[in-house]
Amino acid sequence: MNQLCPRFEKAMVLLSTRWVGLILFELLKGAKRFSEMEADLPISGRLLSDRLKLLEKEGIVERNIYSEFPVRIEYTLSEKGKALEPVIKDIQHWAEEYISAEEIADNERE
Amino acid sequence: MNQLCPRFEKAMVLLSTRWVGLILFELLKGAKRFSEMEADLPISGRLLSDRLKLLEKEGIVERNIYSEFPVRIEYTLSEKGKALEPVIKDIQHWAEEYISAEEIADNERE
DNA sequence: ATATTAAGATTACTTTTCGTAACTAATGAA
DNA sequence: TTCATTAGTTACGAAAAGTAATCTTAATAT
């Protein structure tokens, strides 16, 4: 039935989980707090929470708690997460070269 | 609200549409017919049809009709589609390095 | 005690997505 | 004419994913 390499398929399904790519892009810029990401990304808090939990479970994102007042929690990429940088960079390059301004305008009209 | 580059965001949303990555992977190996892809991929014909239409609309996939008996229709990648090869290759490399055998086993148990 | 703050859980609800199964269209063979 | 083959399309209902608004928790300042 299925002719695909299971490692690749697993990676592909994980990376094509909605918003995962955008979250990785955010975190490649450095440590981020929940509320910062919530402001930057076009998704609800509930979804962001779900995705961060998924990425933590997969060993891609680390959750660091700082017991200050008020408590500060920062999300960072693990080594496994940082290793995805080339993927994100490639997508950026592709987007710059092949996504036209008209396509963006089309999207906003929808 | 949103701090992301719109080109990148558009690319990311497109590429993280479910099964798009696996379809691109299939087509990077060469021209494919509908039924071949349907057999290789873990998705229904209806979804495959939807995704191919999306990718055609986005200028990533080309649909070539050969009027033989029975009719043969082949899908290939456009230049824009082929330019995504580095993305797919990077994901393959990452998967080989970071997706463990245990994770695969976990998935199959679900 | 009460107010404040960050993080995120919960609830209630709407919307979108996906799978199944049946159907269409074109073409040529029997 | 009726069947076979490829490549889809359509209708429908179930399941999943999404949102917004409202709680909860824990720590500290007043």
Through-space separation of residue B39 CA and nucleotide C29 C1' in angstroms: 27
**pLDDT tens-digit readout, B24-56:** 999 999 999 999 999 999 899 999 999 999 999
- Establish whether the linkage from the previous residue to A70 is cis, with ω within 30° of 0: yes
Residue A48 domain-assigned (yes or no): yes
Q: What is the model's pTM?
A: 0.91
Residue B41 domain-assigned (yes or no): yes
Minimal CA separation from A71 to chain B, in Å = 24
Q: Is the CB of A59 under 7 A from strand D?
A: no
Residue B45 domain-assigned (yes or no): yes
Nearest residue of B to residue A12, measured between CA atoms: B21
Q: How far apart are CA A40 and CA A36, in angstroms?
A: 6
Residue A37 domain-assigned (yes or no): yes
Helix (H) / strand (E) containing A73: strand A72-77
* CATH code at position A67: 1.10.10.10
Q: What is the mean pLDDT of residues A34-52?
A: 93
* Confidence tier at B1 by pLDDT (50, 70, 90): very low
Q: What is the mean pLDDT of residues B97-107?
A: 83
* Confidence tier at B2 by pLDDT (50, 70, 90): low
Contact of A27 with A75, CB cutoff 8 Å = yes
Q: What are phi and psi of A65, to 5 degrees?
A: -100, 125
Residue A1 domain-assigned (yes or no): no
Contact of B28 with B76, CB cutoff 8 Å = no
Domain range for residue B29?
A: 19-109
Instruction: Return the pLDDT at A3.
Output: 58
Our count of domains for chain B comes to 1
